[in-house]
Amino acid sequence: MRLGRIAAFLAVSLAVAGSAPADAHPRSDDGSLRAAARGTGVRIGTAVDMSALAADAPYREAVAREFDTVTPENVMKWEAVEPQPGVYDWAAADQLVDFARKNGQLVRGHTLVWHSQNPAWLTESAYTPAQLRTLLRKHILDEVGHFKGRIWAWDVANEVFNDDGTPRDTIWLRALGPGYIADAFRWAHQADPKALLFLNDYNNEGVNPKSDAYFALTRQLLAQGVPVQGYGIQGHLALQYDFPDSVLDNVRRFDKLGVRTAFTEVDVRMLLPADTAKVRAQAEGFGLLLRACLLVKHCVSYTVWGFTDKYSWVPGVFDGEGSATPFDENLRPKPAYATLRDTLLLARR
């Protein structure tokens, strides 16, 4: 399936240069991203906002039409699934898993151990370290167990390093020490041995101190027999900063290590207002990451963190920034959409 990846890269480069080969689109397709991704070995996905999925029919139709994996943007996070100790609420997450099954989509579970979006009751003052370890173990066994057989890949450990490659100071590191990461993977594997288990972070696209830390950690976990199967690169880029270099080198070294890779939360934000030049430059950011994924053997998926500006998380967090996704607020495709589709089509074999 991946034999044609180098050729695909050359074809993509030629197309960007304006001289795509005449047979560049060898198969018929319905014009969607998921049809374009068929045969590339890379699944194309989106984060899903469950309120939008319930209320907005065009949004719902686009999720089903364009993508072959989905990731819950918020509803599988600990605060969402266990709002009170021992009181679970799987309703919204179950709805997404059912939606995915009906539409022939796989689900990326997000996320099991993180420093953010934990329940308000989960504090260091309320529990001893031993109790926190018991709670984390129970959380992972219960959540992964609840979805057993229905989740393709889990983001097990999310954002565990700082940008300088030092371990992030979190409730888990403080209470349990660095071994909490290996434990989280072991518990997830125990609860669903078939799910692919990923590390996941941002600012780790290229070779840098943070991705070096992940490389060392992955090698160490593998050497210890810990069931880690993937390295997730969120891919939150911004036009006002340089795009990362050495993305392909980085993905390739994890590929050679024997783990899968995935781009898990891609978006490319910009200072507002958007204009033609900016949305074209944005398309290059989306394409840069997708090309790296297509060029290695074991990059299994490329997910955008929301596909429409109508529901993107960006304006709420970065003042004066937005327009970060491939569709505008009216669900009309932007140049990034064409870049993603063309890049996928050229990689099909």
78 part of the interface to ligand G3I, by CB under 6 A: no
Q: Which residue has the tokens 């993977």?
A: 185
Q: What positions carry a catalytic annotation? A: 159, 265
Task: Give the helix, strand, coil percentages of the chain, each rounded to 5.
Answer: 40, 20, 40
Tell the smallest beta-carbon distance from residue 234 to ligand G3I (Å). Answer: 5
308 cis-preceded (ω within 30 degrees of 0) = no
Token pair of 80, please?
Answer: 């969402």
Pick 76 or 345: Cβ nearer ligand G3I: 76
218 part of the interface to ligand G3I, by CB under 6 A: no
154 part of the interface to ligand G3I, by CB under 6 A: no
Pick 92 or 144: Cβ nearer ligand G3I: 92
Which of 183, 192, 265, 309 is in the footprint of ligand G3I by CB under 6 A?
265
Between residue 188 and residue 207, which ones bind ligand G3I under the rule CB under 6 A?
Answer: 202
Rounded CA separation 104/123 (Å): 39
CB 342 within 8 A of CB 294: no
Rounded CA separation 77/74 (Å): 6
117 part of the interface to ligand G3I, by CB under 6 A: yes
Pick 73 or 205: Cβ nearer ligand G3I: 73
116 part of the interface to ligand G3I, by CB under 6 A: yes
73 part of the interface to ligand G3I, by CB under 6 A: yes
DSSP state string for 246-300: -HHHHHHHHHHHT-EEEEEEEEEEEESSP-HHHHHHHHHHHHHHHHHHHTSTTEE
Which of 78, 231, 254, 313 is in the footprint of ligand G3I by CB under 6 A?
313
* Per-residue binder mask for ligand G3I (CB under 6 A), 12-51, x = binder: ----------------------------------------
**Phi-psi category of 327—alpha, beta or left, where left has phi over 0 and alpha has psi -120 to 50?**
beta
Pick 13 or 117: Cβ nearer ligand G3I: 117
3-state secondary structure of 172: helix
Which residue is nearest to ligand G3I, using beta carbons? 313
What number of other Cβ atoms are within 10 A of residue 242's Cβ? 8
Token pair of 236, please?
Answer: 């939150």
234 part of the interface to ligand G3I, by CB under 6 A: yes
309 part of the interface to ligand G3I, by CB under 6 A: no
Pick 159 or 342: Cβ nearer ligand G3I: 159
Which residues sit at the interface with ligand G3I, rule CB under 6 A? 73-74, 116-117, 202, 234, 265, 313
